[in-house]
A and B are shown apart, each in its own frame.
Chain A
Amino acid sequence: DAGVTQSPTHLIKTRGQQVTLRCSPKSGHDTVSWYQQALGQGPQFIFQYYEEEERQRGNFPDRFSGHQFPNYSSELNVNALLLGDSALYLCASSLRGSNQPQHFGDGTRLSIL
């Protein structure tokens, strides 16, 4: 039973560029959340997708956008990259509803030069 898978594992971009990160949820899960984890910090919630729509958003600018596909997989897009966007980007999947355990992938390490 495959867990949450993310691609790519590492990515290097320059300021001003755009990036797309991908996530496949754990089998049986229909909800995908994205988190940003800076070095030495806990993950910070970016947004959650359910039924192909953004259901909730954290305190991130609209340079961060996402998409969920009919097969429940998801993409995170970041435009106009800043140096401060360098972080580990984590995808978590769960069943619909609040108070559900979220299971994480191993993340994409994004470095901005």
Chain B
Amino acid sequence: GESVGLHLPTLSVQEGDNSIINCAYSNSASDYFIWYKQESGKGPQFIIDIRSNMDKRQGQRVTVLLNKTVKHLSLQIAATQPGDSAVYFCAENIHHDYKLSFGAGTTVTVRA
């Protein structure tokens, strides 16, 4: 996890607003990235993934953007809800490697 980090350890968001969670990585050989959500007392839950041949991928209320030039990854959550409060991790994988390397996480708190 040493090569994956998040810009901010905490993020406070008003309910209904959009959230942007950032992640920087340093290993240029990384070619697969995953965002996870971890609620208190639970394991990481898969949100969305993206491969290095893509710049953007959309899911339900979430969008992941990948900028390989500056080694930056972001997760955008549309219309943030109280249930989105959790710790968010980005994880990276190098091709032909099997482990995921995680950053320290960003704690998102949604204000009513």
Interface of A toward B, CB cutoff 8 Å? 4, 31, 33, 35, 40-45, 48, 55-56, 58, 90, 92, 98-99, 101-107
Contact = CB atoms under 8 A, between A and B. Distances in A.
A32 to B, nearest CB: 11
Interface of B: 1, 4, 31-32, 34, 36, 41-46, 49, 51, 89, 91, 93-105
Contacts, number: 68
Nearest to A103: B46
Given A31-B98, A41-B105, 12 more contacts: A42-B1, A42-B4, A42-B102, A42-B104, A43-B102, A48-B99, A56-B99, A98-B32, A98-B97, A101-B34, A106-B43, A107-B43
A54 to B, nearest CB: 11
Contacts of A98: 32, 93-98
Given A42-B1, A42-B103, A104 B97 contact: no
